[in-house]
Structure 1
Amino acid sequence: MGINFDLNDLQAFRAVVELGSFRKAAEAVSISQPALSRRIDKLEEALGVRLFERTTRSVTLTTVGRVFAPSAEQLLDDLDVALLGIRDVSSSRLGRVTIACVPSVAYYFLPSAVASYHRRFPRIRVKMLDMSANEVLGAVISGEADFGVSFLGSQESEVEFKVLLQERFVAACRRDHPLARKKRVTWNELYEHEYVSVDKTSGNRLLLDQALSAVAPRAPSVCETRHVTTMLGLIEAGLGVAAVPSMAMPGRDHPILTSVPLVEPVVKRRVGIVRRRGRPLTPAAQEFHRTIVEMKRGGVACSDAVGNNTSPKERPGRKTAS
């Protein structure tokens, strides 16, 4: 026996799931609320189950509805993939893009990309997962995220890693700190001062431990954190100095924080787009991917950045850091 529902019914279902409201869903798919209700009723009748629990104040998925929702999403995404190259379906559909990214990228680079993308595709919702580098990999591999932006992944067989930019580590300090007067700082000089570090769960910690095997700090750090953003907050409060990726630093006009290039050795990290190998992007995700690449080519992100003191033209001003 055939199943009597169509694409419009699935799109109505997805709209209600994503927006949590029949009224908002009807507006999103440009039909009246009674017409949307009829589509949901038709889908439920065809499947022989109730997909939503509806009251005058709320709409929630039933247990069966929660099971069905990912399958419906996949069906619609697969259809979009099939149509990709025939016509642009992204600009007219209600959809979602999920991006996993490390916090420094989430603050510094992606907001501009999200704003540009939203202007072109206002009906597509962007979900940003700011995670550690290892968590970004996990989200991409599991399918929780369409793709990721991180500095880990080039050695993983399950993912593709496309470099966007290269940045170096710098010494972050207050403007009134002795290191702020230097043009460059060696790692040994950095470790002569009280410093803050990231803990062993951080991808940055792994990268630094490998690059600095010949550099031994004279004393342990005064504090360990999980994220670079927290480190910068501690530095701003006067708790020593820290080695951070240059992208994480605030702009040159920050009243308290500044940075100095670190040398002997120069340590760099490559930031790139992480995709699950063999998994095509949905049209909506493909367009967001293209937006990021085009913004990089246009110079929005800095390449081989070296800190506040030496690359003023490449860094937009901002009051807080990530």
Structure 2
Amino acid sequence: MAIALDQLRTFVAVAEAGGLTPAAETLHLSLPAISRRLTALEEELGVALLTRSTRRVSLTQTGREFLPRARRLLDELEESLLGIRETAAQRRGLVVLACIPTAAYYFLPATLAAFARRFPAVRVRAMDLSAEGVTDAVATGAAEFGVGMEGAAHPEVEFRPMRRDPFVLACRRDHRLARRRAVRWADLEGERLVGVSRRSGNRLILDRALLPRGISPHWHYEAEHLSTSLGLVEAGLGLAVVPRLALPRDPHPVLVARTLTDPTVDRATGLLLKRGVEPGPAARALIDLLAKGMRGG
């Protein structure tokens, strides 16, 4: 049996439209072409599927029974072809993502290694940006998706939180506060604190949590990047308040982190996607890997 796909599509279109003329308009075919396809399908099946008259077309009993089967065949074929196209797209091309530095340091290396094993031909461009820069890159389409934090809101960008991490006190091992397991914000009175720029998303989170409680830390130094803040602490210039993710993974010979309480402040880190825009197949695969890493990291 040699039933052609165009014959099935024509039969379904005629059945749904209720006539040859509207089906011909939908398929952009002539009436003779429609008739030829229908006749060829009925001859191949050996049964009549349609009853034709000068004004309308109706389904025979066999045609009514065959219609859902024809629809199902076409749907299954479309899904199969889509899967093949997506699989092919996943195995080549370029994925562009924007990422805040702390998330890039903690989650990207292992995630990209796993992604490269599955899709070795797909290139990845990672844009290392501030939280606001990540949001802007996703909003403008410069990046297919982003890894950032809460706070940098944009009407065209959706934020999906994946994990929460506390702000901690980073100090030298020889500092007096390093002997404590936890430090209260009140204990920082009189200390030289290293903060991040007022433009930073981390600074915004801290200000929103602390100022309503009457806590206004004295930031003696301000830096644009968390890595710079830690460098100043390592040099003995002060103490820094940073997200735990900003600290080295392995024990540091000079720096230690201590829990900050009264209050405890944390931040959400997650994925940023442009509303109404579906990432490509390769980007979706990378997003899935990143989401798993962020939830389990």
Q: Which moved more, 1:152-161 or 1:128-137?
A: 152-161
Partner of 2:203: 205
**Aligned pairs (5 A) from 1:207-286:** 207-213=205-211, 214-217=213-216, 220-286=218-284
AA in 1 matched with 2:215: A
Instruction: Provide the rounded CA distance (Å) in 2 between the counterparts of 1:110 and 1:90.
Output: 22
AA in 1 matched with 2:161: V
Partner of 2:100: 102
Match of 1:122 among 117, 120, 123: 120
1:187–1:215: 8 Å Cα contact kept in structure 2? no
**Which structure is higher in helix share?**
2
User: How big is the shift at 1:86?
Assistant: 4.3
Instruction: Provide the rounded CA distance (Å) in 2 between the counterparts of 1:181 and 1:83.
Output: 63
AA in 1 matched with 2:140: S
User: How big is the shift at 1:91?
Assistant: 4.4
Instruction: Provide the rounded CA distance (Å) in 1 between the counterparts of 2:197 and 2:276.
Output: 33
1:90–1:121: 8 Å Cα contact kept in structure 2? no
1:196–1:241: 8 Å Cα contact kept in structure 2? yes
User: How big is the shift at 1:199?
Assistant: 1.1
Q: State the SS of the aligned residue for 1:231.
A: helix
Q: State the SS of the aligned residue for 2:238.
A: coil
1:100–1:149: 8 Å Cα contact kept in structure 2? yes
User: How big is the shift at 1:251?
Assistant: 3.0
CA gap of 1:91–1:199, structure 2 versus 1, over 3 A, is closer
Partner of 1:138: 136
1:137–1:152: 8 Å Cα contact kept in structure 2? no
2:90–2:281: 8 Å Cα contact kept in structure 1? no
TM-score, structure 1 length as denominator? 0.63
Instruction: Provide the rounded CA distance (Å) in 2 between the counterparts of 1:203 and 1:105.
Output: 14
Instruction: Provide the rounded CA distance (Å) in 2 between the counterparts of 1:280 and 1:113.
Output: 21
User: How big is the shift at 1:177?
Assistant: 0.9
Instruction: Provide the rounded CA distance (Å) in 2 between the counterparts of 1:251 and 1:85.
Output: 39
AA in 1 matched with 2:225: H
Q: State the SS of the aligned residue for 1:163.
A: strand
CA gap of 1:202–1:154, structure 2 versus 1, over 3 A, is closer
- Structure having the higher Rg: 2
CA gap of 1:242–1:98, structure 2 versus 1, over 3 A, is same
Instruction: Provide the rounded CA distance (Å) in 1 between the counterparts of 2:179 and 2:164.
Output: 25
AA in 1 matched with 2:88: V
Pairing 1:92–2:88 present:
no
Task: Encode CA deviations 1:170-222: one digit per residue, 9 max, x unaligned.
Answer: 0011111111111111112124311111111101111111100124346x322
Partner of 1:177: 175
CA gap of 1:153–1:273, structure 2 versus 1, over 3 A, is farther
| Structure 2 unmatched ranges of 5 or more | 1-79
Instruction: Provide the rounded CA distance (Å) in 2 between the counterparts of 1:83 and 1:274.
Output: 29
User: How big is the shift at 1:164?
Assistant: 1.1
AA in 2 matched with 1:233: G
Instruction: Provide the rounded CA distance (Å) in 1 between the counterparts of 2:209 and 2:81.
Output: 46
CA gap of 1:279–1:188, structure 2 versus 1, over 3 A, is same
Instruction: Provide the rounded CA distance (Å) in 2 between the counterparts of 1:241 and 1:284.
Output: 42
Instruction: Provide the rounded CA distance (Å) in 2 between the counterparts of 1:203 and 1:154.
Output: 7
CA gap of 1:83–1:103, structure 2 versus 1, over 3 A, is farther
Task: Encode CA deviations 1:272-314: one digit per residue, 9 max, x unaligned.
Answer: 10000000101111111011123345x2x1xxxxxxxxxxxxx
2:132–2:152: 8 Å Cα contact kept in structure 1? no
Instruction: Provide the rounded CA distance (Å) in 1 between the counterparts of 2:281 and 2:151.
Output: 23
* Alpha-carbon RMSD: 1.9
